[in-house]
């Protein structure tokens, strides 16, 4: 073999080896890019978004208070001369603050039967109700007065969704009563509420203020029906409630003048 020929063969071999190494290196770089994990920052951001979404969608937990009686509460914790003022269908941004102002003026306490949808809209009012010493009542989530004709699963959703909403809106204070909208109680809904620490709440005095009969008529009916029992039904939501506010303004001093005190329904 001539020296020149050997040099040309060596050069060819070196070229083949170099090409092979370059091809291997290129192929390896391609595989590395294909199998390379996503940047940690991107993965972390996606995980964080998923976690926040899960947290938003997670239902607010209900407390686990002691079960109470499932019989309708129709008496007062305050004794025979105590009146239970109960106020339904709010909170309402116009009328609930007016009701609260009147109650504060006369040193009276009341039980506010709160609708879940309204509590979600006005959590600041739920917090004010609690802060001023009043109690909360679960008045269902959507105020469906036909819920007594619906399935148990529907009733459960109405009661427990409202309970979670009220607990969240209040800053952690649970509803201690349950009043079915329009009195649409069922044995199941009463047992369900009682199991979750909410005493089913009835009423003894109903001036039908929601029907706007006039302030004088509301006041007259409350006075005449007090002999039926201590729990008075009024409204701060569900419509125009200026008559209810004014009736409460007249009733509270009259009740105090006649020796009545203000209590909460028996639990």
Helical axes 123-131 vs 95-105, angle rounded to 10°: 10
89 flagged as catalytic = no
Cβ(131)–Cβ(106) below 8 Å: no
Listed in sequence order, the residues at least 6 apart from 134 whose beta carbon sits closer than 8 Å to its beta carbon are: 100, 103, 109, 110, 111, 112
Task: Determine which one of 206, 235, 236, 258 is catalytic.
Answer: 235
Closest by CA position to 241, among listed 99, 103, 121, 126 = 99
Burial label for 238, CB within 10 Å (0-12, 13-18, 19+), is: middle
235 flagged as catalytic = yes
Task: Determine which one of 88, 89, 161, 236 is catalytic.
Answer: 88
With tokens 């809209």, the residue in question is 121
Which residues belong to the active site? 88, 235
């Amino acid at each position: 073999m001539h020296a020149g020929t050997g040099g040309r063969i060596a050069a060819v071999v070196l070229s083949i080896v170099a090409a092979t190494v370059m091809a291997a290196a290129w192929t390896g770089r391609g595989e590395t890019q294909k199998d390379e994990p996503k940047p940690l920052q991107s993965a972390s951001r996606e995980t964080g978004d998923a976690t926040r979404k899960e947290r938003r969608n997670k239902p607010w937990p209900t407390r686990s208070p002691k079960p109470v009686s499932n019989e309708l509460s129709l008496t007062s914790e305050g004794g025979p001369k105590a009146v239970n003022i109960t106020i339904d269908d709010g909170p309402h941004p116009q009328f609930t603050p007016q009701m609260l102002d009147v109650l504060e003026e006369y040193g009276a306490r009341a039980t506010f039967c709160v609708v879940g949808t309204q509590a979600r809209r006005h959590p600041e009012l739920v917090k004010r109700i609690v802060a001023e010493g009043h109690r909360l009542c679960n008045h269902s989530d959507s105020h469906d007065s036909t819920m007594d004709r619906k399935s148990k699963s529907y009733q459960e959703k109405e009661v427990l969704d409202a309970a979670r909403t009220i607990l969240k809106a209040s800053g952690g204070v649970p509803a201690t009563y349950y009043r079915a909208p329009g009195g649409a109680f069922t044995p199941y809904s009463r047992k369900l509420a009682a199991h979750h620490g909410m005493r089913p709440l009835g009423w003894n005095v109903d001036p039908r203020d929601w029907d706007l009969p006039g302030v004088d008529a509301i006041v007259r009916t409350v006075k005449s029906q007090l002999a039926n029992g201590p729990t008075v039904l009024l409204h701060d939501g569900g419509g125009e409630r200026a008559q209810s506010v004014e009736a409460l303004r007249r009733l509270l001093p009259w009740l105090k003048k006649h020796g009545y005190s203000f209590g909460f329904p028996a639990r």
